[in-house]
C-alpha cells in the first residue's frame, strides 16, 4: 500500500508489483509465447499478463491449432493445457518435441498449464516431456516464477 499526497488530499492506492521482461543486450526483441487452452478466459488471462510484460502472444484452442501456430511462430515458451478437445496437451507436446528433435528449438520450454483435475501428477507430466507445471488458478507471480526458470525475465523492484 502506498500513500501519495495530492495537494490537500491524501490518496491511497495499491501499487501492483510490476514484473518485466528484461532483454539482454543481444536479445532486445520481445519474447514470444504460445498460449494453448480450450477456455478463452484462461487464454485471455495469460495473454493480458504476458503482453503487459512485453511478450508477443498467440493463442490456440487445442493441440492441432498449437502445432499450426508453433510451426509459424517458433515461440520462446509454450503454456499448454492438458485436457482439450481435438488434441490434448500431452499429445501436442510430444508432436512438438518430435518435430524438433535434434534442433535447438527442441529446448523450447513447454509448461503444463492445468487445473490439476487430470490423473497425471506433476512428475508424470515432466517425465513425459513438459519443462514445468503451472496449476490453475494462477497469478502473475506464479507464472513468472515458472518463466524465470527458462527465460530472461525478472521481477522489477516496485
Position 12 scores a pLDDT of 28
What's the pLDDT score for residue 13?
Answer: 24
pLDDT at 22: 43
DSSP state of 112: E
CB of 79 closer than 8 Å to CB of 113: yes
pLDDT at 92: 97
Q: What is the pLDDT of residue 30?
A: 86
Where do the structural domains in the chain lie, given as residue ranges?
20-155
Residue that the C-alpha cell 526483441 belongs to:
29
pLDDT for residue 19: 38
Is the CATH number of domain 20-155 3.40.50.2000? no
What's residue 71's pLDDT?
86
Give the pLDDT confidence score for residue 115 in this predicted structure.
82
Residue ranges in the chain whose pLDDT is less than 70: 1-28, 102-106, 116-119, 154-158
Q: Which grid coordinates belong to 18?
A: 510490476
- For residue 96, give every residue at least 6 positions away whose Cβ sits within 8 Å of its Cβ, in sequence order, or none: 66, 67, 70, 78, 108, 110
Amino acid at each position: 500500500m502506498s500513500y501519495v499526497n495530492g495537494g490537500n488530499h491524501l490518496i491511497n492506492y495499491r501499487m501492483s508489483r510490476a514484473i518485466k521482461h528484461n532483454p539482454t543486450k543481444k536479445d532486445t526483441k520481445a519474447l514470444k509465447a504460445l498460449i494453448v487452452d480450450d477456455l478463452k478466459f484462461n487464454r485471455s488471462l495469460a495473454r493480458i499478463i504476458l503482453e503487459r510484460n512485453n511478450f508477443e502472444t498467440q493463442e490456440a484452442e487445442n493441440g492441432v491449432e498449437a502445432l499450426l501456430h508453433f510451426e509459424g511462430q517458433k515461440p520462446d515458451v509454450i503454456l499448454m493445457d492438458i485436457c482439450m478437445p481435438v488434441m490434448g496437451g500431452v499429445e501436442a507436446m510430444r508432436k512438438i518435441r518430435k518435430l524438433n528433435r535434434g534442433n535447438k528449438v527442441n529446448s523450447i520450454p513447454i509448461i503444463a498449464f492445468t487445473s490439476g483435475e487430470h490423473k497425471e501428477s506433476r512428475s508424470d507430466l515432466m517425465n513425459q516431456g513438459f519443462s514445468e507445471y503451472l496449476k490453475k488458478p494462477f497469478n502473475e507471480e506464479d507464472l513468472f516464477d515458472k518463466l524465470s526458470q527458462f527465460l530472461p525475465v525478472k521481477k522489477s523492484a516496485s
